[in-house]
Amino acid sequence: MDQLAVAVVGYGLAGSVFHAPLVAAEPRMRVAAVVTSSEERAAQARAEHPGVRVWKSAQEMFVEDEDVDLAVIATPNRSHAPLALQALAAGLPVVVDKPFAVTVADAEEVVEAAMRADLPLSVFQNRRWDNDFLTVRALMEAGELGEVRRFESRFERWRPVPKGGWREVGEAEDGAGILFDLGSHLVDQALTLFGPVTEVYAELDRRRPEVAADDDAFIALTHADGTRSQLWMSAVAPQLGPRMRVLGATNGYTVSGLDPQEDALRAGRRPDDGKPWGTVTPEKWGTFGAGDDLRPIPTLPGDYPAFYAGMAAALLDGAPVPVDPRDAVETLRILEYARHVAEPADLTS
C-alpha cells in the first residue's frame, strides 16, 4: 500500500481547513474522497484535491466506495457519534473531530463499537501539538518549573457581534456553545499535562442576547496530584489575557498570543510547502523565570502534522493512535458535568 486513502466526511471549516490539508501533507496518506451535499464545496474539494471522489451522503460513500482506508468525521458536533458508528460498521478506522460526541454515553458507545470491531479510533485533539503546549510540556519534563501548582489557560476572543452559526444559535443537544467548542481543547490539554481530576467548578454564561448558546465560560479543575487548572473560554473578552501562565515551585512561564498553525491553514498554507511551519519570531516567545530573574525562552514549533503522521503509523505500523479516544471521553465527562452544574436555567428554555 503506497498511500492510505482517506475520506473526509464534511467539507466545511473543519474538513477543508484542518483535516484535508493535513491529510494531504502526510506522505503516507491522500484525500481520496469527500462527503458534502454542497455543490460549491464539492467544486472546492475537486480543485484542492485533484482526482478526489465527491459523495453527497456519508451513507452512500460507506456502502459504495471500496477504496477508503480511513474515515475522518468533520461534520457538526451532533452527527459525530452517529457517523462514527456508521463508519465502524462499514469496517473503517475512524478519526472524529472534537468534541468527540455531545454526550458521554454517545462517546462510550463509539469506543465500545471500535473495540468490538478491532478498528483504530482516534479524536482530533490537535492542540496537543500547539507550540505553547509543547513548550510547557518540555519545561515540565525537564524539571525547569518544579512542581506545578497552578495552570492558567485561555482561549479568548472579542466578537461582540455574533456570526450566527450553529455554534452560537444551536442547543445543548447540538453540542453548541463555547464550552464544547474551545473547552474541548482546554480541558484536554489540562488532563494531558496533569492527569485525573477530583473536583470541578464551572461558570457558564450567555453574554450576547442574540445567541442561544453559552459564549463565556470558566472551569476550575483540581487534579489528583494537587495542581489546579483554571481555564477561560470567551467570545466577549475586550482585553485578552495571556494564553498560558504556569506557576511552579521554582519557576513560572507566561506566553501570549495563539499558535500560528490555524491562521496558516486558513490562509491556504500546507505544512509541506517547504517553509518553516508552526514557528514564531522571538518577540512572541514566552517569559520564563521567577521574581526579577525573568527571560524570554524560545517557543517550540507547533506540529499539527504529527497527528496524521501518528494515524498513518497506527494503521500501517501497528503503533498506538495519536489520541486515545478514552482520553476524549474523560474530557467530555468534565464538559458534561460543567454544563450540568453551571448552566443558567434560561439557556435550556
**pLDDT for the residue 115:** 98
**Which pLDDT does position 347 carry in this prediction?**
47
pTM, entire model: 0.93
The residue extents of the domains of the chain are 4-124, 127-303+333-348
Q: Nearest CA to 71 among 45, 51, 97, 48?
A: 97
* Interatomic CA distance for residues 101 and 81, integer angstroms: 5
Share of the chain above pLDDT 70, in %: 97
Contact 175, 99 (CB under 8 A): yes
Torsional sign, CA 51, 272, 4, 126: negative
* pLDDT at residue 2, rounded to an integer: 79
Is 341's pLDDT higher than 90?
no
What DSSP string describes 14-50?
IIIIIIHHHHHHSTTEEEEEEE-S-HHHHHHHHHHST
**Helix pair 104-117, 80-89: axis angle to 10 deg:** 10
Q: Is 243's pLDDT higher than 70? A: yes
* Helix 325-342 × helix 104-117 angle, to 10°: 170
Q: What is the pLDDT of residues 88-136, one digit of tens each?
A: 999 999 999 999 999 999 999 999 999 999 999 999 999 999 999 999 9
Strands 148-156 and 228-234 turn out to be parallel
Looking at residue 343, its pLDDT comes to 60
Q: Nearest CA to 341 among 184, 204, 173?
A: 204
Both ends of the chain: CA-CA distance in Å? 53
Q: What is the pLDDT of residues 204-220, one digit of tens each?
A: 999 998 888 889 999 99
**Residue 138's CB: how many other CB atoms inside 10 A?**
12
The Cα 178–Cα 17 span in angstroms is 20
As a whole number of angstroms, the distance between CA 40 and CA 47 comes to: 11
What pLDDT band is residue 344 in, cutting at 50, 70 and 90?
low
Residue-level length of the chain? 349
Coil, strand or helix at 154: strand
Percentage of residues in the chain having pLDDT higher than 90: 89
pLDDT in tens, 15-35: 999 999 999 999 999 999 999
64-81 mean pLDDT: 95
Is 127-303+333-348 assigned to CATH 3.30.2230.10? no
CATH topology assigned to domain 4-124? Rossmann fold (3.40.50)
Q: Give the C-alpha separation, 118 to 269, whole Å.
A: 35
**Average of pLDDT values for 138-167?**
93
Average model confidence (pLDDT) across the chain: 94
5: left (phi over 0), alpha (psi -120 to 50) or beta: beta
316 phi-psi bin (left φ>0, alpha ψ -120 to 50, beta other): alpha
Name the pairing type of β-strands 216-223 and 197-205.
antiparallel
* pLDDT higher than threshold 60 for residue 345: no
pLDDT tens-digit readout, 161-173: 988 777 777 677 7
Give the pLDDT confidence score for residue 213 in this predicted structure.
86
